[in-house]
Homo-oligomer: A and B are copies of this chain.
Amino acid sequence: MQTILILGAGKSSTYLIEYLLESAGVKSRKIIVADILKRTAAEKIKGSSFASAVSINITNQEERNALIQKSDLVVSMLPASMHPIIAKDCLTLGKHFFTASYESDELRKLANDIKAKNLLFLNECGLDPGIDHMSAMKIIDHQKAKGNEIISFKSFCGGILSPESEDNPWKYKFTWNPRNVVLAGQGVSRYIQNAQLKFIPYHKLFERTEKINFEDVGDFDGYANRDSLRYREIYGLEKIPTMLRGTLRRAGFCQAWNVFVQLGMTDDTFQVDFPNGVSYRGFLNSFLPYHPTKTVEEKLQAYLPNMDLDTMPKIEWLGLFSDNPVPISKGSPATILQKILEEKWQLSPDDKDMIVLQHQFEVKGGKVNTKIVSSLVCKGQNEEYTAMAKTVGLPLAMAVDLFLDGKIKSRGLQIPVQKEFYDPILKALEGYGIFFQENQIPKNE
């Protein structure tokens, strides 16, 4: 009997748990779902006799180790900062470890020991990172096998609203961690274009977007996402002249979001302490230069003269010109902004989210270059069965299943860029309606 321990039973665990439960009986597996609230875990296992729900205080090492000791494999759906702690426990106790999060430097330090114990620690097996790696590697390996050279690779992904739920001027609501959305893009973004290294500071990021089109769901803004350079090696494209990974938002979003960036309202490095009862308008005003007679609206227009016509209504819709008090008046600007946005960008029970992912390759082979555009669109069903939970949870669940079936031979610290991962997982995802549409367009040099 194989035992799987799943840590964290939040929204993004829904599909993961259901997938693993489905075959648990046939495959003689036991699933333990642990959450800070036992009730949350219990809701997810839906009374299955192959699963148990337990509560856990994750900061208590004894509690953690008692659960990990009982299992063969641990899946962590906890916040990424917890992963190194769980990973070390798993290493000590000799258990396999799976996540959908980015491989961290702390995990890289354990790589030799993981390998020595013949364990598999698989990270980046969700959506982005995850499905993006797998679908990209399938194309890259295929093109290389044909003797073709990939001269450009851009990849964009976004978790947004399904068009039928775009019922506000931003066409956006929080479909995942609000804090990550508010802080997205901070630091410097790096990519390479026509063999030129390119760096974008945060305050230019939301201006340097490119338009990305999906046949069925229209236009989006793509902005560069962190360090694209390191993926050259991961994908075996060390010498590629153009490589960019980006994030997608509905067209127009970035222009308006840039207002907050320009004002300094997304800053999380210092604490402000407004008088109690400070208004939305007062909060906004503190980021504008003083003027003896101009209104806040006039000062904003004068300060950011490049704002397009569609942006002001978006700012207004959020209530930022109102005299009502802000929900919290102390904290970093980013924290206060997040609170303001959470009140406005909350999903309704019927709202549907959507995942969009697009790879754009330019491939050189024979006399013509070919442009390959491979696109994924996945829509959620409702507030619980979201496209995000589906596309993050299913690939991870499938990797767990394949591994426990003995079909994965890799050991050590891995991300799913090998054929033994991407072939069966992409195939299995198709059965759940998660598949790419590929267009190939010949393109003269």
Contact = CB atoms under 8 A, between A and B. Distances in A.
A275 B328 CA distance: 49
Chain copies in complex: 2
Contacts of A290: 193-194, 196, 198
A80 B249 CA distance: 45
A188 B269 CA distance: 8
A285 interface: yes
A244 to B, nearest CB: 10
Interface in A266-294: 267, 269-270, 272, 274, 282, 285-290, 292
Contacts of A269: 187-188
A388 to B, nearest CB: 29
A382 B80 CA distance: 56
A264 to B, nearest CB: 3
Nearest to A195: B275
Contacts of A187: 269-270
Contacts of A274: 197
A199 to B, nearest CB: 6
A201 B272 contact: no
A65 interface: no
A188 B333 CA distance: 11
Contact of A286 (B196, B285, B286): B196
A191 B334 CA distance: 19
Interface string A182-210: 00000110100110111111011000100
Contact of A201 (B199, B200, B203, B282): B203
A410 interface: no
Contacts of A201: 203, 262-264, 267, 287
A282 B195 CA distance: 11
A274 to B, nearest CB: 7
B199 A286 contact: yes
Main secondary structure of the interface of A (DSSP, over half): mixed
A272 B197 contact: yes
Contacts of A193: 290
Nearest to A273: B197
Contact of A204 (B188, B262, B272): B262
B272 A196 contact: no
A292 B242 CA distance: 13
A292 B241 CA distance: 14
A208 B194 CA distance: 36
Contact of A199 (B196, B208, B333): B333
Nearest to A270: B188
A290 B269 CA distance: 31
A39 to B, nearest CB: 42
Interface in A228-286: 262-264, 267, 269-270, 272, 274, 282, 285-286
A194 B289 CA distance: 11
A188 B286 contact: no
Contacts of A292: 194
Contacts of A272: 197, 199
A196 B285 contact: yes
Contacts of A198: 286-290
Contacts of A200: 264
Nearest to A282: B196
A289 B188 contact: no
9 contacts: A188-B264, A196-B282, A198-B287, A199-B264, A199-B272, A199-B286, A199-B287, A201-B263, A203-B203
The list of the 10 closest CB pairs from A to B, nearest first, reads A201-B264, A203-B203, A193-B290, A197-B286, A188-B270, A199-B286, A199-B287, A199-B264, A208-B289, A188-B267
Given A199-B272, A199-B287, A203-B262, 19 more contacts: A187-B270, A188-B267, A188-B270, A190-B270, A193-B290, A194-B290, A197-B274, A198-B286, A198-B287, A198-B289, A199-B267, A199-B286, A199-B333, A201-B262, A201-B263, A201-B264, A201-B287, A203-B203, A204-B264
